């Protein structure tokens, strides 16, 4: 049974691992140079005490490749679910070849268990190798983008660490379950993609922010922590956003509160006259921030600190492992009732 499974899976496995090997080779060849450029540039700018210009330029120079690798790691689990999971049993049921196997001495439960175990192992290995290579290569860029695109941000988080392994295992077994229910390969692949995409959207929005209790702070509004300030015309209203209290933190929510502690949609300070009025084409930031603070405005913020990256990684990976185990149990239960 093991030999048969490996023989049936050899083409998909060879294609997938060959692609990962090429990716790993390219990253291994370019990674040391990338890391060296960042280290030397950081050392040079550290002497002046300000590395913001260097880190911003470094991220801009490598942004296209950085985003392409993120997309690749995020897409990999979906491809595994589509091409490794959905056809695994769905094609057998569609073509009727399962009856030949079930008429042999092997039980259908063992037949399915061997397939799930062997290809599931290949799935986790492929996702783990891909994620490891990309996480290692992207280290300097992750550091340079800590303020604008931290590792905890939804876009980057799913392409780093151990969670891609959980995604891939879940996508694979999800594809198997859908293939068993639909019994046709192509519709099963489409349904698998739709369900997996829905889960991948729902988890960062609804579940990940609450895996660990967020940190909540109320902070003054200053020129140092101001990220953006928007005004609707010269007379206001003003809306602003602050930087995270810790570099690399994931901001879940932030609201401006007035002197009485109520959430307000705008800061009622004039841009036509007073400290926030333009002076020679631009308002004086420090004077404007001082006026906003004098009026009692503060910013209430909820965020996940950067030190929680790995606890959140393991928590979310554990969640996907539980989903995968539940789907595996459903597979083994369902296979006994198929005809």
**Of 167, 188, 186, 166, which is closest to residue 177 (Cα–Cα)?**
188
Q: Band of the pLDDT at 280, cuts 50, 70, 90? A: very low
Q: What is the pLDDT of residue 7?
A: 65
Q: Is the pLDDT of residue 306 over 50?
A: yes
Instruction: Taking residues 178-187, report their average pLDDT.
Output: 89
Q: Is 318 exposed, middle or buried (0-12, 13-18, 19+ CB in 10 A)?
A: middle
Q: What is the pLDDT of residue 153?
A: 92
Partners of 217 in the β-ladder: 301
Q: Decide if 171 contacts 192 (C-beta within 8 A).
A: yes
Instruction: Taking residues 164-189, report their average pLDDT.
Output: 93
**Percent over 90 (pLDDT), the chain:** 48
Q: What is the pLDDT of residues 195-249, one digit of tens each?
A: 999 999 999 999 999 999 999 999 888 877 888 777 665 555 677 888 888 888 9
Q: What is the pLDDT of residue 137?
A: 95
Instruction: Taking residues 296-325, report their average pLDDT.
Output: 94
Joined tokens for residue 326: 């539940």
Q: What is the pLDDT of residue 4?
A: 61
**Percent over 70 (pLDDT), the chain:** 89
Query: Which is more confidently placed, 276 or 59?
Result: 59
Domains of the chain, residue spans: 2-212+308-335, 215-307
Instruction: Taking residues 43-61, report their average pLDDT.
Output: 85
Q: What is the pLDDT of residue 100?
A: 62
Q: What is the pLDDT of residue 159?
A: 94
Q: What is the pLDDT of residue 128?
A: 93
């Amino acid at each position: 049974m093991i030999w048969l499974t490996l023989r049936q899976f050899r083409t998909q496995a060879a294609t997938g691992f060959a692609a990962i090997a090429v990716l790993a080779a390219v990253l291994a060849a370019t990674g040391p140079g990338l890391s060296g450029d960042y280290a030397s540039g950081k050392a040079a700018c550290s002497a002046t005490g300000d590395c913001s210009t260097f880190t911003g330029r470094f991220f801009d120079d490598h942004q296209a490749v950085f985003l392409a690798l993120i997309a690749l790691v995020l897409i990999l689990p979906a491809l595994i679910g589509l091409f490794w999971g959905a056809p695994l049993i769905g094609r057998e049921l569609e073509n009727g070849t399962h009856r030949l196997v079930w008429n042999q001495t092997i039980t259908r439960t063992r037949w399915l268990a061997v397939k799930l175990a062997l290809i599931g192992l290949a799935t986790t290995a492929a996702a783990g190798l891909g994620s490891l290579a990309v996480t290692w290569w992207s280290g300097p860029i992750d550091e340079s983008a800590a303020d604008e695109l931290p590792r905890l941000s939804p876009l980057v988080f799913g392409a780093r660490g151990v969670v891609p392994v959980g995604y891939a295992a879940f996508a694979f077994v999800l594809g198997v379950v859908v293939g068993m229910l639909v019994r046709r390969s192509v519709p099963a692949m489409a349904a698998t993609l739709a369900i997996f995409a829905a889960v991948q959207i729902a988890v960062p929005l609804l579940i990940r922010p609450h895996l660990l209790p967020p940190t909540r702070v109320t902070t003054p509004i200053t020129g140092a922590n101001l990220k953006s300030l928007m005004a609707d015309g010269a007379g206001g209203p003003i809306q602003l956003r602050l930087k995270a209290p810790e570099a690399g933190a994931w901001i879940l929510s932030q609201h401006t509160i007035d002197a009485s502690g109520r959430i307000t949609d705008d800061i009622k300070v004039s841009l036509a006259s007073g400290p926030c009025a333009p002076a020679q084409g631009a308002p004086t930031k420090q004077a404007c921030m001082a006026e906003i603070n004098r009026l009692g405005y503060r910013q209430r913020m909820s965020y996940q600190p950067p030190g929680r990256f790995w606890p959140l990684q393991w928590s979310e990976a554990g969640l996907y492992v539980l989903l995968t185990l539940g789907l595996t149990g459903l597979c083994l239960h369902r296979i006994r009732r198929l005809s």
